[in-house]
């Protein structure tokens, strides 16, 4: 007899244990094995900043249909440490089934919902307790009836750099786990009814990889950074592929050097990217102002995490919108993009390089820990749409770098390309780039720089509406909350409720006001304490949101949370 109801179409599996117990290895292997087997998969993690001793967890969702959002629900829990029950107490329900070793159970857990799998003993029999996480990989694959060959081939590939004995032991561990999973299904002790589809042609990647691929597609050939969680993965990704794509990757001595190197790269004709998080970007604000005065293109990837100061260094939050918007002394234009999907991350990052080059302004790609660390399968990117627009001009002898123009963007030359002198200066300057204190010219130069904001507006990306045009209630979100809010909308199942996703948060696209004015009630969903986008909308349009759903405890929104909060508004 089955001990739990049949999971149809979607199952949420959570592994939890202490740092160093190999949870990320399980996530990495399972997502790829299941995707190869034709399943739709989603994985996301939450982890403490301690190297050892902190409790971490990862959720792996497997679905017949695409899955790409965090659930609070846990269908199957695999605790690798007894502390998992305390750590996940608010997510474990009466329907949660626990798979694992009895010594990892909490004292008050209902044994009727426990299926014993002796991961450690099986691993020790194979050769070392360290293989227990690979036994877990095989067990979950077995529950989903994944073929033996698909599991063992990928395990062999993953551990190919290790010695032959280690590779064989990992394969044996995966096989042992697969047999356990198969037997649980065969004995109907657990039922998971999910259909594998043909996901061939799709790609499985994380948010950080999507941003990295977008940067490569945008012609990025220089990246500099001082490592800071959760942005470091982008430097690692671009460094790993630097040889293939001709990218110079520089780990700078600090954040100030990183941003100045990137500005220098643009001055020399490269397409540069700097990646950082909030505390690191705080040190870059003088460099941002330098880019504003030099009228230098600049692309900044800002991966948000909770502050102030060190805050919660491995958690997530959407609280740096105002930092990106108001950073830097003086007045100069900028553009802020916030991808909500992997597709957005690729195409918006690629577009960021063209806009920065064309408008000669800083462009931000605003992500967060939840976004960059989450994986799911998505359609392959259409590179036939990609077209990079190089705006560099060949200079003549009478070249003026800051020539006053109607749209504010002067012809941009680079040293050594043409006969002209490319003179730039951090002080106020004349058209040739020489320092000036002429107050009338100062006004003309400020006006010239600010004119570029209109050119940026010409590149605006309209908000994306999900649901019917004939809505009564309008949910509004930006960045990483999108996929969660979109799935919540499906569960709400009310044809009078639609969702507006703002991908370009500054300058606000003009269509934003039109969408908002048509709704009887509006609800802003943001991962911060003060409603930063809601404040920006009010400042720029005068529109005030009646309701806000805000979260700022360091964890991402779950689908269930948004459903519950929206239903309160509807009621």
| Superfamily of domain covering 204-385 | Thiamin diphosphate (ThDP)-binding fold, Pyr/PP domains (3.40.50.970)
The CATH code that applies to domain 464-570 is 3.40.50.920
Question: Model confidence at 2, in pLDDT bands (50, 70, 90)?
Answer: very low
| Per-residue confidence (pLDDT) for residue 196, from 0 to 100 | 84
329 Cα distance to chain centroid: 29
- 21 versus 30: the higher-pLDDT residue is 30
Distance between CA atoms of 545 and 547, rounded to whole angstroms? 6
Q: Nearest-CA neighbor of 46 among 61, 56, 35, 54?
A: 56
**Per-residue exposure over 432-455, b if at least 16 CB sit within 10 Å of its own CB, e if not:** bbeebeeeeeeeebeebbebbbeb
Q: Mind listing the pLDDT tens digit for each residue in 373-423? A: 999 999 999 999 899 989 999 999 999 999 999 999 999 999 999 999 999
Residue 91 is given by DSSP the state T
Question: Model confidence at 16, in pLDDT bands (50, 70, 90)?
Answer: very high
**H or E, element range at 446:** helix 439-458
User: Reduced to 3 states, what is the DSSP secondary structure of residue 212?
Assistant: helix
Q: Has residue 51 got a pLDDT over 80?
A: no
The CATH code that applies to domain 7-193 is 3.40.920.10
142 burial class (0-12, 13-18, 19+ CB within 10 angstroms)? Answer: buried
In CATH terms, are 7-193 and 204-385 the same topology?
Answer: no
**Average pLDDT of the residues in 165-190:** 92
The DSSP annotation for 241-263 comes to: THHHHT-EEEE-SSHHHHHHHHH
**Average pLDDT of the residues in 259-285:** 98
Q: Mind listing the pLDDT tens digit for each residue in 320-331? A: 999 999 999 999
| Per-residue confidence (pLDDT) for residue 188, from 0 to 100 | 80
| Per-residue confidence (pLDDT) for residue 19, from 0 to 100 | 83
Q: Has residue 3 got a pLDDT over 60?
A: no
Q: Has residue 1 got a pLDDT over 50?
A: no
| Per-residue confidence (pLDDT) for residue 52, from 0 to 100 | 67
Q: Nearest-CA neighbor of 242 among 212, 268, 266?
A: 212
Per-domain residue ranges of the chain: 7-193, 204-385, 464-570
Q: Has residue 187 got a pLDDT over 90?
A: no
Contacts of 534 (CB under 8 A, 6+ apart): 524, 526, 544, 545, 548
Q: Nearest-CA neighbor of 33 among 184, 210, 204, 181?
A: 204
Q: Nearest-CA neighbor of 238 among 275, 280, 287, 277?
A: 275
**Average pLDDT of the residues in 422-430:** 97
**Average pLDDT of the residues in 58-78:** 96
């Amino acid at each position: 007899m089955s001990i739990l109801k049949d999971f149809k179409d979607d199952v949420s599996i959570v592994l939890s244990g202490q740092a160093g117990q190999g949870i990320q290895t399980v996530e990495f292997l399972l997502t790829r094995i299941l995707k190869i087997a034709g399943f739709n998969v989603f994985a996301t993690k939450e982890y403490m900043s301690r190297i050892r001793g902190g409790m971490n967890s990862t959720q792996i969702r497997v679905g017949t249909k695409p899955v790409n959002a965090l659930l609070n629900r846990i269908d199957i829990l695999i605790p690798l440490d007894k502390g998992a029950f305390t750590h996940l107490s608010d997510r474990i329900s009466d329907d949660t089934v626990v798979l694992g070793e009895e010594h990892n159970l909490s004292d008050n857990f209902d044994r009727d919902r426990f299926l014993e799998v002796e991961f450690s003993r099986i691993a020790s029999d194979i050769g070392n307790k360290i293989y227990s996480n690979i036994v877990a990989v095989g067990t979950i694959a077995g529950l989903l009836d994944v073929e033996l060959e698909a599991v063992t081939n990928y395990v062999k590939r993953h551990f190919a750099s290790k010695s032959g004995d280690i590779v064989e032991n990992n394969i044996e561990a995966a096989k042992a786990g697969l047999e356990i999973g198969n037997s649980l299904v065969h004995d109907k002790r657990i039922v998971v009814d999910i259909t594998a589809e043909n996901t061939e042609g799709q790609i499985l990647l994380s948010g950080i990889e999507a941003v990295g691929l977008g940067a490569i597609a945008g012609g990025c050939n220089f990246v500099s950074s001082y490592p800071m969680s959760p942005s470091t993965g982008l430097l690692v990704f671009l460094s790993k592929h630097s040889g293939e794509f001709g990218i110079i990757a520089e780990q700078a001595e600090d954040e100030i050097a990183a941003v100045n190197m990137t500005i220098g790269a643009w001055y020399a004709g490269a397409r540069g990217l700097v990646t950082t998080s909030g505390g690191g970007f705080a040190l870059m604000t003088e460099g941002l102002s330098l880019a504003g005065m030099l009228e230098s293109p600049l692309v900044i990837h800002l991966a948000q995490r909770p502050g102030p100061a060190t805050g919660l260094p491995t958690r997530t939050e959407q609280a740096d919108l105002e930092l990106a918007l108001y950073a830097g002394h003086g007045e100069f234009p900028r553009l802020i993009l916030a991808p909500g999907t992997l597709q957005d991350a690729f195409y918006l990052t690629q577009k960021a390089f063209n806009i920065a080059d064309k408008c000669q302004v800083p462009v931000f790609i605003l992500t967060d820990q939840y976004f960059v660390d989450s994986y799911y399968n998505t359609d392959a990117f259409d590179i036939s749409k990609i077209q990079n627009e190089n705006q560099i001009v060949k200079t003549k002898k009478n070249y003026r770098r800051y020539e006053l123009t109607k749209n504010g963007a002067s012809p941009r030359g680079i040293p050594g390309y043409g006969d002209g002198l490319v003179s730039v200066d951090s002080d106020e300057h004349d058209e040739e780039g020489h320092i000036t204190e002429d107050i009338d010219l100062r006004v003309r130069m400020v006006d010239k720089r600010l004119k570029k904001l209109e050119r940026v507006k010409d590149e605006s990306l309209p908000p994306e509406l999900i649901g019917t045009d004939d809505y009564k209630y309008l949910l509004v979100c930006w960045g990483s909350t999108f996929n969660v809010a979109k799935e919540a909308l499906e569960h709400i199942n009310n044809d009078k409720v639609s969702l507006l996703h703002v991908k370009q948060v500054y300058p606000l696209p003009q269509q934003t006001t039109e969408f908002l004015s048509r709704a009887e009630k509006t609800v802003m969903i943001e991962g911060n304490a003060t409603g930063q986008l809601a404040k920006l909308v009010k400042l720029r349009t005068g529109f005030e949101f009646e309701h806000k759903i805000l979260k700022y405890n360091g964890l991402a929104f779950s689908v269930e949370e948004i459903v519950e909060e929206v239903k309160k508004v509807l009621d």
